[in-house]
Structure 1
Amino acid sequence: MASAEELSPAEAYARFRHHQAFPELRDFANGYGFDFDEYQVEACQAVEGGSGVLVAAPTGAGKTIVGEFAVHLALAQGRKAFYTTPIKALSNQKYNDLCERHGSDRVGLLTGDSSINSEAPVVVMTTEVLRNMMYAGSPTLRGLGFVVMDEVHYLADRFRGPVWEEIIIGLPDSVQLVCLSATVSNAEEFGGWLAEVRGEMEVVVSERRPVPLYQHVMVGNRLMDLFADVAPTADLEDRAATYDVNPALVRIAKEESRVVRDDSRRPRGRSGKGKRTSGTAQYGGGAAREHQERSRYRPAHRAEVVRVLERADLLPAIVFIFSRQGCDAAVRQLQAAHVHLTAPDEEAAILAIAQRHVQGFSPEDLQALGYELFLDGLLRGVAAHHAGVLPALKECIEECFEAGLIKVVFATETLALGINMPARSVVIEKLVKYNGEAHVDITPGEYTQLTGRAGRRRIDVEGHAVVIWQPGMDPRAVAGLASRRTYPLRSAFRPTYNMAVNMLNRMPRSQVRTVLELSFAQFQTDRSVVGLARRLARTTGDHDDLAAQAACDRGDFMEYARLREEIHLIETTAVKQDKAFRREETERLLTGLRPGDVLRVPSGRSQGWVVVLDNGHIDPQQGPRPTVMTVDRQVRRLSLTDFPSLPQVAGKVRVPKHFQSRDPSHRHSLAAALRQRLDQLDPTPQRTRTEGSLNDKERARIAELRDQLATHPCHTCPDREVHARWAEKALRAEKEARQLEHQVARRTRSIADRFDKICTVLGSLDYVRAAGTDDLEVTKEGRTLAQIYSEDDLVVAECIRDGAFDGLSAPQLAAVLSVFTYEPRKGDEHRSQRMPDLVTHEAYENVGRIARRIALVERDARLESGVELPPGFAQPAFDWCAGRPLAEVLGRGEMSAGDFVRWARLVIDLTDQVATAAGPGDLRDTCHEVRHRMQRGVVDAAISAPEDEDWDG
């Protein structure tokens, strides 16, 4: 940006007019020590101009500037601003940032766990908190002017994404929406939906990385460029640009393939099986060289990877390993290899941060957490970051990393979401990850999300992405991941029971259906049928034109044409059935042929009499393929296409046991025997019995239709066949239109149809009741359900109504409620499936009966049901609530501290919902006791409990 001295008079005047047009943006920008990017300016101008805005930009591009400007504008205008995030850790981070800029007296925090200064003009919160406030009609919403939705691409999350759409649809029109998203390939589509729902909405897309990103592959301990021209992915706007893969990498892939191929051919011992003998002893120096070649392509040891990065000045680095155990093992490997990346002053700073984060933990808890080993890694400058790490320790890692004290973090992919932890380089160990069901290749969108962490703005002049070479790797496939930017945003929205009763509490049923049809899910569905609808309209128009051409002055010719069409349909159906029967019967008969069978082939190259040499094999596509010899001694294979009518064996000749089809003398002898046998056959052709022809009912219907045709006034029209040609075309168009209507009907109104089925279930269980002709009112039980936000909301509400939780002690209630929150990870299926005691077992059985009862009601309403109630966390929840120490709780089932805290906090959260829903009484008192007992020690310290799950590979 040019300085004032360099500006021409015209440029100076333009800048003056610009500042006059956007005075708040000018004041806001003056508070930063750098110039804003063009897209940031454009987005902020839209906000100051009164428009909503969707900003889609790469990770680390600084799109939060736009959100912070909305906060600035709200304070300047005397209005409120809510800054929403998808996870609590990000909420805490943003709260600290805004407090530093605006002062803690003007900023609040609401995350479900924390409530700080909730009536402040600026409040940071998770999306769930805002959704609940909207449904409750909270007075905190008064004066709300702006809502910032950070990381709005979370809308695609299967479990939590629908909350975003509920907020976007339900916010008052007076609220300006500022949506911040990672780069998605359908930003314009998403922006189009936002504009339809919210009114004026600017879409600002930037695909330019502020820090150039260079792509590398580490082969052994060599760091090699992925592209021949070292193409940095800094500007992605030129999607047509292509880059050549480094030919050295292509050559390595070929060499590795050759070594592996040659190695697989080498005999394994004398028999060719079993262990291969020593290469040096058996093959001398050549085998040793091959062994050395194979070693060149093995992935580098993790400690060696770190040393290579350190020598190349590429630290700090995030190494993505799609496995918790892999991350933990990597830290241990670096410790064992005596890797040490920190200076004494950095160690002192790390120690101070670590002590602050574990302040208040007992020595016994620290021992149970393996804190000493954790701290040793931290002081060396390395750490593991995943959902299994205790939240307090994760926050310690994040703070140290942001301060530049930790040099290497081994992380699962959840670190790539939301948390501000950029690095100079990002390493991806493997391009395959476990998604909870199978090992799958990572997508270009995931690759972009992961490598987006590389390159710290205003710190690094360039970022680096490194992929570790793995056996069989194709560098061209890696280049495809690095150069493609396909990351479409797909809605995960679907109505729930809780959503239904909350919306019915606020508006009539017809209005709820209209609102639900405003969802992004319906918007995308409707767009997908635009082409179908266009074809339907065109086809319907064609039908009308063709029917008009078929008009007859003697009567309704389309009626006459339909009679002819029905006759044709009955007859052709019978023919098809007959053809299918014939094929099936022919296949059966050909399969049953035996050597020496004599039969006549009615068509094809082998037409005429043949003798079967062998019954051949059955081809998956063509069916049986028997080998035969013709009268003129030609040996061929038959197929089903040779038999338009059923084959029949007319006789048999003897085929010698050692018959050789390639021996002319053998063929000559067999042909003579075949001709002799044919002379003995009856020359009268046998009639083949036909199956699948018209039955009596079909014959009667055709006779009836022919009578109607004969008496129809159009039957004697001299132009009948001319009319018929037009009518046939009209009927074809009519048939196509019916098919298109069916496809459109299946896709449109899918959201409203699901809502109607939900209402049917709720009505059956008395959570809503009829009010007027087509309206519903929420009952007392429905208002209870409105307070339950669990995925199994209806089952929990039914349990409250049926008293399934009554009479339980606090530990017992915690154990029973855990079955609604716990989701076993891969490898945890072996965890105890028993409840802690007989009382909780009986309560669990009762919950199961209630869930099955609801499933039957859902089945009757044609609504899918999939409630699972795994009891794998029941014992830890019971033990912790009973006051047992952390070491004992973790020791029982080998559960990680991070997982334990995650599930414990989810139990507490559900307990709070049950307390609110139940109202005054013993159950509410027990719920409060559960919270008091469970919110202690490491659970109480987990202010930013992780909400993201990662999978082990």
Structure 2
Amino acid sequence: MNTADAESTAKATPSENLRDFAGHYDFSFDSFQVQACGSIDAGHGVLVAAPTGSGKTVIGEYACFLAVREHSRCFYTTPIKALSNQKYHDLVAAHGADNVGLLTGDVTINGDAPIVVMTTEVLRNMLYAVSPDLETLSYVVLDEVHYLSDRFRGAVWEEVILGLAESVQVVALSATVSNAEEFGDWLDTVRGNVDIVVWEKRPVPLYQHVMADHEIYDLFGSDGRSVNPKLTALARQESRTTRDDSRRPRGRNGRGKRRVTYGSGQFGGASSSRVGDRRHQSHGLTPSRAMVVTALQKAGLVPAIYFVFSRQGCDAAVRQLLRSGVRLTDRTERAQLRELAQREGASLSETDRAALGWNDFVEALSRGIAAHHAGLLPVFKAIVEEGFTRGWLKVVFATETLALGINMPARTVVLERLVKYNGETHADITPGEYTQLTGRAGRRGIDTEGHAVVLWQTGMDPRAVAGLASKRTYPLRSSFAPNYNMAVNLVRSAGRDRARSLLEQSFAQFQADRKVVAAARQGVAVAGQIADAWQQAHCSRGDFASYARLRDEVRELEREQARLRKQDQRAAVLDGLSRLEPGDVIHLDAGKGSGWLVVIEPARPGKPEPHPLVMGEDHQIVRIAPEQFKSAPVTAAKVRVPKRFDRHSAAARKALSRALDARIEGLSVEAGRSRAPLDAEISHQISELRARLRAHPCHDCPHREDHARAAERALRLERENNVTQRRAADRRNSIAAQFDRICAVLDALGYLDPSHPDEVTPAGTMLTRIYSELDLVVAQAIREKVFAELNGPQLAAVLSTMVYEARATDTGGHRMPDDTSARAERALRSVWREVGLVERDHRVERQRDLDIGFADAAAQWASGASLADILGEFGLTAGDFVRWTRQVVDLASQISAAPGLAELGSPGLARTCRAVIGLLRRDIVDFETAEPE
């Protein structure tokens, strides 16, 4: 392995191939580009870590050039379909349409070409399927390889790196990461002959600013290191005029209603403010969005990407600028943007345009303003991206997804806040995220400098912002973990032992191994402390260590018994409540609303906990919660509840209450209680241990409790050290241990054959083609014929529950579209629970829950509903609707292609899945998945 800083490496004489390749570019290559291309010429793999916009893709394009010249093949992989489409067009322009193909799962163009652009998942699937297209493969470009840190999809990159043939040269292109050498060391270990090229120089220098009120200040002073004194003066001035309790989480007296809603404020995030609160848009020194855009235009700092970190915030910003009358384009640019919109949007019908707010979009576009986020329809995104790259659009309000690969550089990047929602909470952005976002500023060959502007927020500390801007820490951390689909594919292709060995070569394991040495050093120091504690616990009457361990074992068994009882009771309660149906009569023993209850509405599917709607003996209608039950509810009787029971009708409530009163006469309370047995085995063990304690010679020692305190300290230190050493041991084979547990689940459910560890059963063969996040639930549902009797719209609804994930703002209240799909969803949920129990038994993290939030929309679209009806009824954005529909299509495609469906008892399922695909891929959905021009 060769590790070098390209700037300090003398330029070698470029090869004839490289000279020919460089002649197609109108700029001279930087030394890192020459060095990396030289590594490819030498037959080596290469990892290139360089800033955004520095020209890393030139190295990937060189691999494509060589594949065409050598009559071999190069696969150019990207993390997202939009980037694949963009790269496809770039390579077609360079090599011609005959030499370039595109594979993105739903689009196939010229798949036999010498250069094929694809998403990384497509290549992973080809490896597992042992595709014949791999036979002539010489080069694989892994663009944006730092995506392997992504906690949802990162494992795919490691699967590809480990699965490629040794003869394939890997060209890995990464953003600047602080541990490039560590990652390159791993690549060299598993691939061999991988060179590392690190380039830290930005092609366009970046200047940092803070905008407060109407003025844009430099963040740093004249020396380029210390904070601008004008900003520190502003902070002092603001602190004198701002109430102290505005910086406190709970008000002046510490007991108020204020809550910290996000962020620590470590990087100037002003943690006591609220994200998206309009009151802060023009509060104090914080400039309004219109003020910011106007100031940028006057300063010559457009085009700009304005990061808002909220879809609604992006759309709201566009509306605000429209209302403010801001216009950033001249007459020619307005005409060009309108022509672009009409050309790209020609396939949209008038009803679709009305539903999508087309006129407002085009009006804002013509003024040089647009939004860009995941909820935007792809055709809108395409218009925004082309308009911006051509320089016609001046300001794009964007979420952070724009920073992840799409080539949309700007002169300036604006960060409205230094906090964002990370999927769980609002938190400060990290130095790595700041670097990634601001890396878009400065267009190579156009701008002589780029600019990053942070907007002032109440409570901001300019020194913290300067610290954030000056850090370049972006460590690459593996997110690799084996899953069910990976396990069956690896066992089928390599056998269980070889698969286990392969997983031990992952980057995740490579990083974990480096933490083992520190644990060993800690163990030596703690051993001495443990020996001292046992010496203090010495007892003249006998071996106090054995007595203390008996006492400790009793305590642990008692704790374990309490935990098991609590877990079993809660699991039983959740399961019992989820199975209740309208008309079931149950008994609640204690607490508010105790007594006999009749179920009116069952628990809502797709929710983490069941909360059925019930009527009590007091004739009040409420929702009950699992916390109200100490044991699982048992149906003691049934009462007829009308199918369309109107809970707001006094007559309906009165009729139901009479029926309930009549039914519960003479019912025994015991009839409504479950009888869960105690864990007799643990109780027996505890009794035996207590008898041994009483018989121990140290039991009657007058200093017993003094000895016990020292012994408890020794035992505590032993436990802590054991945990540390066990974690170290787990790190030594952590990935392989996860693989073993996953294989145990697959053995138990019949996907692998325990008696033939290198063989996959027919069910396992079917699972090899299911790549869903809920892959095992999908496969098990196929085996149990959950989907067998469904028509197209019903199947679309049920499949959607396994791909859809509601946003945090979703208020719930969703239903399945009809009784048949509801029964199938209940059966699917039962499968999910059964799989979860097996996972619990084998200590495998449970697969995520089902979500019915998109089911009705999917069914209605499959039944022919219009886009306007769907968006109006379900409150979805057009982009979200298209994305979730395409994911249902993708899952249906996987199932339809899964081998052995007929043998597993579902001969017509593939046909129904193909019907679902045809029903869903129509109008705007079909338009969005059409081949690129």
- Residue 854 of structure 1, CA deviation: 0.9
Question: Structure 1 stretch 136-145 or stretch 73-82: which is displaced more?
Answer: 73-82
Q: CA 1:566/1:769 → structure 2, altered by over 3 Å: closer, same or farther?
A: farther
- Residue of structure 1 in register with 2:97 after alignment: 104
Q: CA 1:892/1:537 → structure 2, altered by over 3 Å: closer, same or farther?
A: same
- Residue of structure 2 in register with 1:757 after alignment: 741
The secondary structure found in structure 1 opposite 2:13 is helix
Hey, what's the Cα distance between the residues in 2 that align with 1:941 and 1:735? Answer: 61
Q: CA 1:885/1:536 → structure 2, altered by over 3 Å: closer, same or farther?
A: same
Are residue 18 (structure 1) and residue 13 (structure 2) matched? yes
- Residue 529 of structure 1, CA deviation: 1.1
Hey, what's the Cα distance between the residues in 2 that align with 1:571 and 1:539? Answer: 22
- Residue of structure 2 in register with 1:798 after alignment: 780
Are residue 508 (structure 1) and residue 495 (structure 2) matched? yes
- Residue of structure 1 in register with 2:361 after alignment: 374
- Residue of structure 2 in register with 1:88 after alignment: 81
Hey, what's the Cα distance between the residues in 2 that align with 1:351 and 1:298? Answer: 36
Alignment of 1:675-714 (within 5 A): 701-702=696-697
Task: For 2:742, give the aligned amino acid.
Answer: I
Q: CA 1:893/1:23 → structure 2, altered by over 3 Å: closer, same or farther?
A: same
- Residue of structure 1 in register with 2:922 after alignment: 936
Hey, what's the Cα distance between the residues in 1 that align with 2:716 and 2:776? Answer: 48
Deviations 1:757-783 (A, max 9, x none): 1111111111111345xx231011111
- Residue of structure 1 in register with 2:761 after alignment: 779
Query: Contact 1:220–1:296 (CA<8 Å) still a contact in 2?
Result: no
Are residue 334 (structure 1) and residue 334 (structure 2) matched? no
Hey, what's the Cα distance between the residues in 2 that align with 1:404 and 1:930? Answer: 41
- Residue 84 of structure 1, CA deviation: 0.2
Are residue 809 (structure 1) and residue 802 (structure 2) matched? no
Query: Contact 2:310–2:399 (CA<8 Å) still a contact in 1?
Result: yes
**Aligned Cα RMSD in Å?**
3.3
Query: Contact 1:89–1:944 (CA<8 Å) still a contact in 2?
Result: no
The secondary structure found in structure 1 opposite 2:159 is helix
Query: Contact 1:799–1:847 (CA<8 Å) still a contact in 2?
Result: yes
Query: Contact 2:550–2:693 (CA<8 Å) still a contact in 1?
Result: no
- Residue 567 of structure 1, CA deviation: 3.0
- Residue 941 of structure 1, CA deviation: 2.0
Hey, what's the Cα distance between the residues in 1 that align with 2:720 and 2:424? Answer: 40
Are residue 252 (structure 1) and residue 245 (structure 2) matched? no
Query: Contact 2:107–2:931 (CA<8 Å) still a contact in 1?
Result: no
Are residue 169 (structure 1) and residue 162 (structure 2) matched? yes
Question: Structure 1 stretch 841-850 or stretch 255-264: which is displaced more?
Answer: 255-264
Hey, what's the Cα distance between the residues in 2 that align with 1:498 and 1:696? Answer: 51
- Residue of structure 2 in register with 1:913 after alignment: 894
Alignment of 1:187-202 (within 5 A): 187-202=180-195
Hey, what's the Cα distance between the residues in 1 that align with 2:27 and 2:430? Answer: 35
Deviations 1:294-321 (A, max 9, x none): 9883311211111100010000000000
Partner residue of 2:67 out of 69, 74, 85: 74
Hey, what's the Cα distance between the residues in 2 that align with 1:739 and 1:153? Answer: 32
Query: Contact 2:541–2:698 (CA<8 Å) still a contact in 1?
Result: no
Hey, what's the Cα distance between the residues in 2 that align with 1:473 and 1:159? Answer: 33
Deviations 1:328-373 (A, max 9, x none): 1111111111111111211221122111211222111111111011
Partner residue of 1:415 out of 388, 398, 402: 402
- Residue of structure 2 in register with 1:146 after alignment: 139
Hey, what's the Cα distance between the residues in 1 that align with 2:858 and 2:223? Answer: 54
- Residue of structure 2 in register with 1:685 after alignment: none
- Residue of structure 1 in register with 2:730 after alignment: 746
Hey, what's the Cα distance between the residues in 2 that align with 1:36 and 1:407? Answer: 30
Query: Contact 1:357–1:392 (CA<8 Å) still a contact in 2?
Result: yes
- Residue 261 of structure 1, CA deviation: 3.5
Q: CA 1:739/1:855 → structure 2, altered by over 3 Å: closer, same or farther?
A: closer
- Residue of structure 1 in register with 2:876 after alignment: 895
Hey, what's the Cα distance between the residues in 2 that align with 1:696 and 1:925? Answer: 67
Hey, what's the Cα distance between the residues in 2 that align with 1:69 and 1:487? Answer: 27
| Gap regions ≥5 residues in structure 2 | 1-9, 248-255, 257-280, 532-536, 554-689, 702-714
The secondary structure found in structure 2 opposite 1:846 is helix
Structure of higher CA gyration radius: 1
Are residue 309 (structure 1) and residue 309 (structure 2) matched? no
Hey, what's the Cα distance between the residues in 1 that align with 2:246 and 2:177? Answer: 44
Hey, what's the Cα distance between the residues in 2 that align with 1:108 and 1:940? Answer: 20
Hey, what's the Cα distance between the residues in 2 that align with 1:215 and 1:437? Answer: 29
- Residue of structure 2 in register with 1:611 after alignment: none
Task: For 1:896, give the aligned amino acid.
Answer: T
- Residue 536 of structure 1, CA deviation: 6.4
Partner residue of 2:352 out of 365, 381, 406: 365
Hey, what's the Cα distance between the residues in 2 that align with 1:184 and 1:264? Answer: 37
Question: Structure 1 stretch 864-873 or stretch 469-478: which is displaced more?
Answer: 864-873
Alignment of 1:747-896 (within 5 A): 747-772=731-756, 775-830=757-812, 832-896=813-877
The secondary structure found in structure 2 opposite 1:770 is coil
| Gap regions ≥5 residues in structure 1 | 1-13, 232-242, 266-272, 274-293, 548-560, 578-694, 707-730, 947-953
Aligned length: 736
- Residue 857 of structure 1, CA deviation: 1.2
The secondary structure found in structure 1 opposite 2:230 is helix
Hey, what's the Cα distance between the residues in 1 that align with 2:498 and 2:518? Answer: 28
Hey, what's the Cα distance between the residues in 2 that align with 1:562 and 1:28? Answer: 80
Are residue 926 (structure 1) and residue 912 (structure 2) matched? yes
Give the TM-score normalised by structure 1. 0.73
Q: CA 1:897/1:736 → structure 2, altered by over 3 Å: closer, same or farther?
A: closer
- Residue 734 of structure 1, CA deviation: 11
Deviations 1:383-406 (A, max 9, x none): 000011100110110011000010
Task: For 1:871, give the aligned amino acid.
Answer: I
- Residue of structure 1 in register with 2:558 after alignment: none
- Residue 576 of structure 1, CA deviation: 12
Query: Contact 1:391–1:945 (CA<8 Å) still a contact in 2?
Result: no
Hey, what's the Cα distance between the residues in 1 that align with 2:288 and 2:342? Answer: 32
Hey, what's the Cα distance between the residues in 2 that align with 1:897 and 1:733? Answer: 58
- Residue 531 of structure 1, CA deviation: 2.8
The secondary structure found in structure 2 opposite 1:18 is coil
Partner residue of 1:46 out of 27, 39, 45: 39
Query: Contact 1:833–1:870 (CA<8 Å) still a contact in 2?
Result: no
Hey, what's the Cα distance between the residues in 2 that align with 1:179 and 1:944? Answer: 30
Query: Contact 2:693–2:699 (CA<8 Å) still a contact in 1?
Result: no
Task: For 1:62, give the aligned amino acid.
Answer: G
Query: Contact 1:426–1:464 (CA<8 Å) still a contact in 2?
Result: yes
Query: Contact 1:819–1:874 (CA<8 Å) still a contact in 2?
Result: yes
Hey, what's the Cα distance between the residues in 1 that align with 2:244 and 2:744? Answer: 67
- Residue of structure 2 in register with 1:628 after alignment: none
Are residue 454 (structure 1) and residue 445 (structure 2) matched? no
- Residue 751 of structure 1, CA deviation: 1.0
Hey, what's the Cα distance between the residues in 2 that align with 1:350 and 1:92? Answer: 21
- Residue of structure 1 in register with 2:664 after alignment: none
Hey, what's the Cα distance between the residues in 2 that align with 1:340 and 1:733? Answer: 69
- Residue 700 of structure 1, CA deviation: 5.8
Task: For 1:476, give the aligned amino acid.
Answer: R
- Residue of structure 2 in register with 1:551 after alignment: none
Query: Contact 2:509–2:735 (CA<8 Å) still a contact in 1?
Result: yes
Are residue 387 (structure 1) and residue 363 (structure 2) matched? no
- Residue 696 of structure 1, CA deviation: 9.4
- Residue 451 of structure 1, CA deviation: 0.5
Question: Structure 1 stretch 353-362 or stretch 372-381: which is displaced more?
Answer: 353-362
The secondary structure found in structure 1 opposite 2:831 is helix
- Residue 256 of structure 1, CA deviation: 0.5
- Residue 746 of structure 1, CA deviation: 3.1
Deviations 1:175-218 (A, max 9, x none): 01011111111111111111111111111111111100000000
Deviations 1:525-558 (A, max 9, x none): 1111133346669999x99xxx9xxxxxxxxxxx
Hey, what's the Cα distance between the residues in 2 that align with 1:419 and 1:733? Answer: 52
The secondary structure found in structure 1 opposite 2:801 is helix
Task: For 2:912, give the aligned amino acid.
Answer: T
